[in-house]
Amino acid sequence: MRVGLCATRRCERAGALLRAAARLSFCAFCLCAAAASPVRAQREEFGPVVRAYLGYLDAEQVVTDDRASRREVSAAYVRRNSNRIRALRVTALRIARETKNDYLPELYAVARDELGTLFETPPRPESFRAGEILNNTFRYLGSQRTGEVFYLFSRLDVYEQAELLKKADEKRANAPQQAGAAGAGEAATRPRRVPGSETQAPPPTPRTDKP
């Protein structure tokens, strides 16, 4: 009788533990679903191109975290790379929502000490203007603070670069013509000198005083 009672109690305790574990698993599932819902809703907001780019950033973060767990990179590298990924994500979402197009340019996020990776002679960030074209290659999009300040650029596509180069060539070709037209205009407006019209000094008056 005692043996049967002990077995019954063990079964009851096991059943209680299983029910508690099931409740915990259900709560964990609900929390994960709640956390994933905004991400899923955000992804459904955009087309396949934007979703693919956001997925690429997610993969970059996973790789960064994995390398950090293996102690392959320094804490400073992990911090900067994670901040860079966040800056790129914020910028990509802003562009996609403002343009409402399923397209993103090639984006770059660089810190102040990394400008040399894009420019042979690093410019001063204080001189940047939003929308400005630099070196006929990059468009400055603005700065983003995500732990540290990053400067965001988009690379112009080949058609934009070709159009800028064409305009630059036309400007150089027209420069001599404009200079010649300016010189001709100056000559046309310069007054002509009439012979004999120059003002001459009167001859000196002879002295009449005697010593």
Sheet holding 106-110, edge to edge: 106-110, 149-155, 138-145, 133-134
For the chain, give every domain's residue range.
Answer: 27-100, 105-174
Write down the pLDDT at residue 79: 97
Write down the pLDDT at residue 31: 46
Write down the pLDDT at residue 182: 59
DSSP 210: -
Write down the pLDDT at residue 32: 47
Q: What is the pLDDT along the chain (211 residues), one digit of tens a residue?
A: 444 544 455 546 555 554 654 454 444 444 444 444 455 556 678 999 999 999 999 999 999 999 999 999 999 999 999 999 999 999 999 999 999 999 999 999 999 999 999 999 999 999 999 999 999 999 999 999 999 999 999 999 989 888 888 888 888 888 776 666 555 555 555 555 545 544 444 455 444 444 4
Distance, in Å, from the CA atom of 86 to the CA atom of 194, rounded to the nearest integer, reads 77
Residue 171 in tokens: 């400007």
**Do β-strands 106-110 and 133-134 pair in parallel, antiparallel, or remain unpaired?**
unpaired
Collapsed DSSP state (helix, strand, coil) of residue 130? coil
Write down the pLDDT at residue 24: 45
Collapsed DSSP state (helix, strand, coil) of residue 142? strand
